Structure 1
């Protein structure tokens, strides 16, 4: 039997809320902002060859008690459980990631996202999409630009299919396609196993981290580190050695020092070519 969610521990993990949580859109957006600022997107478990258990108990143990981050199946599993605990109605969905894919590419349904009912209609919620994770809920309405604390987003609709796009500069870039067919926990087991273990998975071959704070995003892909500021500035650098990498992992992404030490032999391979 799954142990109950420890809401107090979760709220402590994300830094608390200014007001008592309820089922309003204000609370939903506050939880999103606090979650993505406190809990990083990270793939250290797949990179280190560790299993990724996406059961509620395992996700709570890793992301809340363990001070870790994770990827979409972990973030959105935890967030769905938190919202249900508070009384929200949550529907779990699946998406086909098309970010950096050629137009018309058919990709597997490998991403988890959420549809959350509010008094003002359903909202798209996704706290687990890495460097372009949503930092507020989006109205499920096509063809309108929706402002978030970070980039503007919009949804396009073609029949039952929706496409989420982000505006980066002057260009709209597609992130993923989805429909509103309800998913269940068992639907994520096979794609999670592929992403966590298969040699062709982007998560087993590369180091990937992201976090979104107030007016800023931080991303790391292997040795390429970037800070995106609210005024449009982008600061990029290539990390030169393990000391720089460890400093960034701990400062920008909150990775526990013990995990950095455990991961050092695998992470050192990132510098072999240099």
Structure 2
């Protein structure tokens, strides 16, 4: 599908994410640009906490993420990434996901999460560069319900009565318990379908994006996350480093945060950030 009627400077976008090889619609390229995006573009909601509002206009998303070298949450990162894939020549379909609430155990409403599906040589792949710490680094096959291993993590996509459920199997080496992450259908959507939920996540006390200022980025050995007034370093388990997920947390002073964001995440804000880390109110309506 065509995400925007305006042409994208794909070369500049690819340089932004550190991808320097030829960009052609192949599975190897899809996997590479997916990983490059996650390693280069933060998952963040700092616009919400620095006096701005996120708008789902492809040109605005491009300017923010590519020109200003910022990041975004799912509607921004996946919205723009889907446009990039379309420009490269992939067959892209936007999908609506519903995230499982870790507090209530219930799912959010439709259009709670934006993801995309790429159809390549008759096979379908789930892409998601906008889900933070629980996300997968490489596209997942939609052609199997079997196990799909990525480093220390194991994922599967289970289908039940037309609904697909993305699940993962713990964080530590040897963990066997399955946890539901989000559910989705394969019904094609448009970017404008997500506008209402994008506004909800910027204004509802039931949304993590309203309640907590955050910025997170994947690293080769783990993840670095700023939230509220903390900097959290997560190191993924390996056979060499041991089977336990290691996490360290550092308390930050308000005046330290802008420097940390610039140094660690490459994020420079145009307006002062108001750090926030409030409890999330369970939503009154659950799905």
TM-score by length of 1: 0.88
Matches of 2:252 and 2:161, distance apart in 1 = 48
Kindly state the Cα deviation for residue 60 of structure 1 after the two structures are TM-superposed: 0.2
Matches of 2:88 and 2:195, distance apart in 1 = 26
Matches of 1:150 and 1:31, distance apart in 2 = 21
Does structure 1 residue 249 correspond to structure 2 residue 249? no
Structure showing the higher helix proportion among its residues: 1
Aligned to 1:100: 102
Aligned to 1:74: 76
Aligned to 1:35: 37
Kindly state the Cα deviation for residue 247 of structure 1 after the two structures are TM-superposed: 4.1
Q: Which residue, 8, 12, 16 being the options, matches 1:13?
A: 16
1:92–1:113 contact (8 Å) kept in structure 2: yes
Deviations 1:58-86 (A, max 9, x none): 10000000111100010011111111101
Q: Secondary structure in 1 aligned to 2:272?
A: helix
Aligned to 1:153: 155
Does structure 1 residue 179 correspond to structure 2 residue 181? no
Runs of 4+ in structure 1 off by over 4 angstroms are none
2:234–2:246 contact (8 Å) kept in structure 1: yes
Does structure 1 residue 209 correspond to structure 2 residue 219? no
Aligned to 2:130: 128
Q: Secondary structure in 2 aligned to 1:134?
A: coil
Does structure 1 residue 63 correspond to structure 2 residue 75? no
Aligned to 2:85: 83
Q: 1:204 to 1:125 in 2, by over 3 A?
A: same
TM-score by length of 2: 0.84
Matches of 1:11 and 1:172, distance apart in 2 = 35
Matches of 1:205 and 1:49, distance apart in 2 = 14
Matches of 2:119 and 2:194, distance apart in 1 = 22
Does structure 1 residue 236 correspond to structure 2 residue 239? no
Q: 1:12 to 1:120 in 2, by over 3 A?
A: same
Q: Which residue, 269, 272, 277 being the options, matches 1:263?
A: 272
Q: 1:69 to 1:226 in 2, by over 3 A?
A: same
Aligned length: 264
Kindly state the Cα deviation for residue 129 of structure 1 after the two structures are TM-superposed: 0.4
Deviations 1:97-151 (A, max 9, x none): 0041444x24212100001012261000000001122210000145322122562
Matches of 1:16 and 1:88, distance apart in 2 = 17
Kindly state the Cα deviation for residue 238 of structure 1 after the two structures are TM-superposed: 3.6
Q: 1:172 to 1:220 in 2, by over 3 A?
A: farther
Matches of 1:86 and 1:47, distance apart in 2 = 33
Cα RMSD after superposing both structures: 2.2
Matches of 2:235 and 2:108, distance apart in 1 = 31
Aligned to 1:162: 164
Q: Secondary structure in 1 aligned to 2:28?
A: helix
